[in-house]
Structure formats: structure tokens, C-alpha cells
């Protein structure tokens, strides 16, 4: 069938056959569909939706638009984690070595950030020399050797997604559950993993603020991945205030290293343990959540997780001195403590406001081609409900020029509210789907 016929069928509300969906994905891969035809199809799917069978067929076609990694040489069970993203979400950086230290291989292909801060790849690249560019053969060899590897999407893996995501970003078709499922799962299932755990966030700083919509996305992701033979669970977590006390690339790396040293913020570790428990349970190395939690805690107290992190940094060309001394991470020229105007309690820390401030400083991208400043951001961020004194620090702003510092001061002064009564943060780990 011609592209226009398939587009018209979806436009008119028909369910597409596997062959029609494969034609669409193939067209994105080899260029046989023009960009305007791909865009029209994306909009038709956005408006008309896809049923479960169509979504599964779309995801499978996306996954097989390139190579699927063969990790048969890795004898350990293989698990990965994916987050829908949030403010201060650095969990992958320390969770992967924790899980690897428990005997589960973690082959993780991550992305870059477009918005408030960098993605996992940008954070890792703030470690001097760290390379996220590895071939599939190098990826496979490192996972077999040390049990984990964190890289970017290679040209061989799910190439259709790169094309279609770029078009979704400029055609207003990003927030569509079937398209999100295809995008996330095609890359994750092409990694060669056995099981998958998803962190689906809701709240002001989340991709999908409404909890009901976030839950629907979580259920769809679990259903599609499970139907494709990959045991999957999703954990719903709140993202109304930033996760942890640091937002910004090198600053978040430093906080993840704190986590590996057993000194991580309470909220960051709560999400870390919730996701790690599900990874160990699905991988079959722990019989129940209590034992899974014990294994994860032991990976920290024994130092085994920190050793794994060091091994990964060294294997990917990073400066391991940064693991022991944060002075070896990029440092901002200006450090400004934002002071509380009064004594009281933290009534609110608006995740979106903090996100905007860090992007003003240069920690994130407004456009895909923007350069990220790895040193800037905020640290020492207060949490909702904490008591503060007049003149006490609400956070420390890390900036590299006076203009962006002034903008961030204004934004953060509105985002952090000091009140006479403590605010109440929502329950952080809300529900497990699947």
C-alpha cells in the first residue's frame, strides 16, 4: 500500500495491520516515506490512538528497525531501569553499580536531556574523559567483564526511533501513549535484557503531571513489554519537588557518589531502593523485597557498589580521581548561597521552578544542539517540611556568569517558599504496576 493509503486508514480510525505498521516504521528507517508523510502518520496516531495489538506491533517493528544486541555470552541475569525523567533524577548513576554488585548485569542505554538539566549521558560526561560512545561489541564485552555499561543509543539500535522522535518533538505529538511505548521499549528491548523496571513519574516536575495519565502510561508499558516476552514492572513515583538536594550535571554525579558512600539523601535512596528491589526480584536473585533491600544495602556498606562504579568509570575512559575527590569534577566560578528572608518552614520547593533556574544557568538544553555547562546548577537544596532560620541557606547556586546567576536568584526565590507551617510532600513511592 502507498503511504497515503495507510495514513488515511489511521486518520479514519481503522486499526492497522502488522504489515501496514511495518511499512510505516521501514519508511522512517530507509527514507522511503517523506518527512511530511511520517509527520501526518504521527498526528493520525496521536489523534486516533492505537489498540494493544497495534502498539505491540509498532514497538516490535521499531525494535527490529536495527540490530538487537545479543548478550548470550553474559551468564548473569540482565536487568535495566528506565525513568520517564524528572528534576534531580540521578538514580541510574548509582543504582546500576548497586544492582551489578548484587550479581545482576546492567546493560543500560540512556539518553540526553532536552529541557531543565542533562540526561544520564550528560551527567556521566561531566566526569572528565568519560565516554558514552561505545560500539555494540564494546558494550557487550564490558557488560560481560564488569557487569555494567552505560552508553548512548548507537546507530545500529532502533534507528527508526531517532527519526520519529525528532519529528514528534516538532509536531506536537510527543504525549501519546502508543508512541511513547514504542520509543522507550524499542531501545530498551534491543539491549538484550531479560527484565525491565520502569520509574514512571507524576507531579509538577514530571513528563506527565497527572497521576492517572502516568499510571495509564505505566500500565501500557508493562503490558506491551510483557506481551513481548520481557517481565516488566513500573514504579510510580512523585515528582513535585526535586529528587535529592542537587540539580545539575556534575553536582548530581557528586550526589550519586555520596549515595554510593552511604550518605545519599533520604528521598533519593527511597526511590533507589524501590527500583532496585524490583530489579533483583524480577531477575530472580532475591526471593522477596526484604532480601532484595538487604542485598542492596550490603552493596553500599561493603563498598562493592562503589568499586563497580570505579570500574565503569575506568572502563569508559573517565578520570577515577573524580570518584574520590569532587574537586576533580567541573567547578563553577561563582557559588552563591540563596538565603531565607525569614524564619519558618519550607512550604514548597517547586520542581519546575528549580528546573527553569538550572536551565537559565546552562545545565539544560532548550534545543537539541545547545551546549550544556556541566558545572552549573544548585546544591544543598532544602526539602519540603524542613525548618529554616532567617538568613539560613535555601540552596547554593553554582554559576559561571553574573547574568545567569541573577536570573536564577530571581527564579529560585519564587520557587522556594518559606511559610509559617511546614508543607507536606506527596508520598514519594506511590504504587507498583505489574
Residue 116: per-residue pLDDT: 59
Residue 348: per-residue pLDDT: 95
Cα separation of 204 and 347, whole Å?
15
Q: Which three cell numbers stand for residue 145?
A: 567483564
Catalytic option among 39, 65, 92, 183:
183
Q: Is 297 helix (H, G, I), strand (E, B) or coil?
A: helix
- Interhelix angle 402-415/351-361, rounded to 10 degrees, is 180
Residues 183 and 141 in one domain: yes
Residues 149 and 191 in one domain: yes
Q: What integer is the mean pLDDT of 190-194? A: 90
CA distances from 399 to 33, 36, 197, 358 (A): 45, 41, 35, 9
Position with higher pLDDT, 425 vs 392: 392
Residue 366 has pLDDT above 80, yes or no: no
Q: What integer is the mean pLDDT of 377-394? A: 97
**Residue 69 is assigned to a structural domain of this protein:** no
Backbone angles phi and psi of 378, in degrees to 5: -130, 145
Position with higher pLDDT, 34 vs 364: 34
Catalytic option among 78, 187, 245, 359:
187
Q: What is the CATH number of the domain that holds 388?
A: 3.90.1170.30
Confidence of residue 119 (pLDDT cuts 50, 70, 90): confident
257 by Cβ neighbours in 10 Å (0-12 / 13-18 / 19+) ranks as buried
**Residue 392 is assigned to a structural domain of this protein:** yes
The number of beta carbons lying within 10 Å of the beta carbon of residue 162 is: 17
**Residue 72 is assigned to a structural domain of this protein:** no
Q: What is the CATH number of the domain that holds 310?
A: 3.40.1030.10
Q: Is 430 helix (H, G, I), strand (E, B) or coil?
A: strand
Residue 115 has pLDDT above 70, yes or no: no
Residue 113: per-residue pLDDT: 64
> Which residue range forms the structural domain that includes residue 20?
3-49
Backbone angles phi and psi of 423, in degrees to 5: -75, 165
Q: What integer is the mean pLDDT of 241-258? A: 97
Strands 344-349 and 393-399: what pairing? unpaired
Residues 224 and 309 in one domain: yes
- Cβ(329)–Cβ(254) below 8 Å: yes
**Residue 310 is assigned to a structural domain of this protein:** yes
Q: Is 393 helix (H, G, I), strand (E, B) or coil?
A: strand
Question: Could you confirm whether 82 is annotated as catalytic?
Answer: yes
Residue 51 has pLDDT above 80, yes or no: yes
Instruction: Print burial letters for 369-395: b (CB count within 10 Å at least 16), e (below 16).
Output: eeebbbbbbbbebbbbeeebeeeebbb
**Residue 86 is assigned to a structural domain of this protein:** yes
Contact residues for 406 (Cβ-Cβ < 8 A; gap 6+):
none
Residues 175 and 145 in one domain: yes
pTM of the model: 0.92
Catalytic option among 94, 123, 140, 168:
168
H/E stretch holding 223:
helix 211-227
Q: How does the average pLDDT of the chain come out, rounded? A: 93
Q: What is the CATH number of the domain that holds 19?
A: 1.20.970.10
Contact residues for 260 (Cβ-Cβ < 8 A; gap 6+):
94, 97, 98, 300, 305, 306, 309
Residues 132 and 208 in one domain: yes
Q: What integer is the mean pLDDT of 129-150? A: 93
Catalytic option among 122, 161, 258, 430:
161
Q: What single-letter DSSP state applies at residue 16?
A: P
Alpha helices of 49-114 — where are they, by DSSP H? Answer: 52-63, 91-101
Catalytic option among 10, 78, 82, 94:
82
Cα separation of 143 and 187, whole Å?
17
Confidence of residue 191 (pLDDT cuts 50, 70, 90): confident
Q: Which residues pair with 108 in a beta bridge?
A: 150
* Percentage with pLDDT > 70 across the chain: 98
Residue 326 has pLDDT above 60, yes or no: yes
Residues 174 and 26 in one domain: no
Contact residues for 170 (Cβ-Cβ < 8 A; gap 6+):
none
Cα separation of 47 and 41, whole Å?
10
Q: Is 136 helix (H, G, I), strand (E, B) or coil?
A: helix
Confidence of residue 205 (pLDDT cuts 50, 70, 90): confident
Residues 221 and 297 in one domain: yes
Residue 315 has pLDDT above 60, yes or no: yes
Q: What integer is the mean pLDDT of 131-137? A: 90
Sign of CA dihedral 206, 411, 336, 116: positive
Residue 117: per-residue pLDDT: 64
Residue 256: per-residue pLDDT: 98
Confidence of residue 367 (pLDDT cuts 50, 70, 90): low
The number of beta carbons lying within 10 Å of the beta carbon of residue 434 is: 19
The number of beta carbons lying within 10 Å of the beta carbon of residue 26 is: 16
**Residue 68 is assigned to a structural domain of this protein:** no
Residues 26 and 167 in one domain: no
Alpha helices of 288-399 — where are they, by DSSP H? Answer: 289-301, 304-315, 321-324, 351-361
- Edge-to-edge strand list for the sheet holding 387-388: 387-388, 344-349, 416-419
In tens, the pLDDT along 52-73 reads: 999 999 999 999 999 888 898 8
> 525491565: which residue's cell?
196
Angle at 351 (CA atoms; ends 347, 356), nearest 5 degrees: 125
Residues 200 and 254 in one domain: yes
Of 324, 358, 388, the last residue of a domain is: 324
Residues 10 and 127 in one domain: no
CA distances from 211 to 218, 237, 238, 355, 431 (A): 10, 9, 9, 20, 11
Question: Could you confirm whether 161 is annotated as catalytic?
Answer: yes
Sign of CA dihedral 308, 314, 318, 321: positive
**Residue 276 is assigned to a structural domain of this protein:** yes
Residue 425 has pLDDT above 90, yes or no: no
Residues 161 and 254 in one domain: yes
Q: Which three cell numbers stand for residue 229?
A: 516476552
Residue 109 has pLDDT above 90, yes or no: no
Residues 241 and 340 in one domain: no
* Percentage with pLDDT > 90 across the chain: 81
Q: What integer is the mean pLDDT of 220-228? A: 93
**Residue 390 is assigned to a structural domain of this protein:** yes
Q: Which of 303, 234, 302, 248 is nearest to 81 (CA)?
A: 234
Question: Could you confirm whether 183 is annotated as catalytic?
Answer: yes
Count structural domains, the chain.
Answer: 3
Q: What integer is the mean pLDDT of 285-299? A: 98
Q: What integer is the mean pLDDT of 262-279? A: 97
Give CA 50 to chain center in angstroms. 25
- Residues found in the chain: 434
Of 269, 297, 324, the last residue of a domain is: 324
Amino acid at each position: 500500500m502507498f503511504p497515503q493509503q495507510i495514513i488515511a486508514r489511521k486518520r479514519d480510525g481503522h486499526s492497522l495491520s502488522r504489515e501496514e505498521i511495518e511499512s510505516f516504521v521501514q519508511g522512517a528507517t530507509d527514507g522511503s516515506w517523506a518527512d511530511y508523510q511520517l509527520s501526518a502518520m504521527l498526528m493520525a496516531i496521536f489523534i486516533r490512538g492505537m489498540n494493544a495489538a497495534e502498539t505491540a506491533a509498532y514497538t516490535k517493528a521499531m525494535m527490529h528497525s536495527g540490530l538487537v544486541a545479543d548478550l548470550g555470552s553474559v551468564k548473569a541475569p540482565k536487568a535495566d531501569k528506565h525513568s520517564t525523567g524528572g528534576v534531580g533524577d540521578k538514580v541510574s548513576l548509582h543504582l546500576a553499580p548497586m544492582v551489578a554488585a548484587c550479581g545482576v548485569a546492567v546493560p543500560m542505554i540512556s539518553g540526553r536531556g532536552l529541557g531543565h538539566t542533562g540526561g544520564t549521558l550528560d551527567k556521566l560526561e561531566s566526569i572528565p574523559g568519560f565516554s558514552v560512545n561505545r560500539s555494540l561489541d564494546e558494550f557487550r564485552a564490558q557488560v560481560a567483564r564488569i557487569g555494567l555499561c552505560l552508553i548512548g543509543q548507537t546507530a545500529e539500535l532502533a534507528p527508526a526511533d531517532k527519526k520519529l522522535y525528532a519529528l514528534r518533538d516538532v509536531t506536537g505529538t510527543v504525549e501519546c501513549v502508543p508512541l511513547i511505548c514504542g520509543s522507550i521499549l524499542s531501545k530498551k528491548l534491543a539491549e538484550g535484557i531479560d527484565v525491565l523496571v520502569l520509574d514512571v513519574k507524576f507531579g509538577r516536575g514530571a513528563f506527565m503531571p497527572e497521576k492517572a495519565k502516568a499510571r495509564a502510561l505505566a500500565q501500557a508499558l508493562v503490558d506491551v513489554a510483557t506481551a513481548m516476552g520481557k517481565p516488566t514492572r513500573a514504579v510510580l513515583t512523585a515528582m513535585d519537588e526535586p529528587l535529592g538536594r542537587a540539580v545539575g550535571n556534575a553536582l548530581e554525579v557528586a550526589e550519586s557518589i555520596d549515595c554510593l558512600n552511604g550518605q545519599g539523601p533520604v528521598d533519593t535512596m527511597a526511590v533507589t531502593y524501590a527500583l532496585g528491589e524490583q530489579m533483583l526480584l524480577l531477575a530472580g536473585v532475591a526471593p522477596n523485597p526484604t532480601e532484595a533491600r538487604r542485598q542492596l544495602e550490603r552493596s553500599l556498606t561493603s563498598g562493592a557498589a562503589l568499586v563497580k562504579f570505579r570500574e565503569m568509570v575506568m572502563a569508559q575512559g573517565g578520570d577515577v580521581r573524580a570518584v574520590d575527590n569532587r574537586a576533580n569534577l567541573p567547578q563553577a566560578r561563582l557559588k552563591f548561597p540563596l538565603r531565607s528572608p525569614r524564619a519558618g518552614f519550607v512550604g514548597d520547593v517547586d520542581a519546575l521552578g528549580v528546573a527553569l533556574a538550572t536551565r537559565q544557568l546552562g545545565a539544560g538544553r532548550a534545543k537539541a544542539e545547545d551546549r550544556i555547562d556541566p558545572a552549573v546548577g544548585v546544591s544543598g537544596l532544602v526539602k519540603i517540611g524542613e525548618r529554616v532560620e532567617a538568613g539560613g541557606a535555601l540552596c547554593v547556586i553554582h554559576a559561571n556568569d553574573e547574568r545567569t546567576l541573577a536570573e536564577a536568584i530571581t527564579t529560585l526565590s519564587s520557587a522556594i517558599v518559606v511559610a509559617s507551617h511546614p508543607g507536606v510532600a506527596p508520598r514519594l513511592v506511590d504504587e507498583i504496576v505489574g
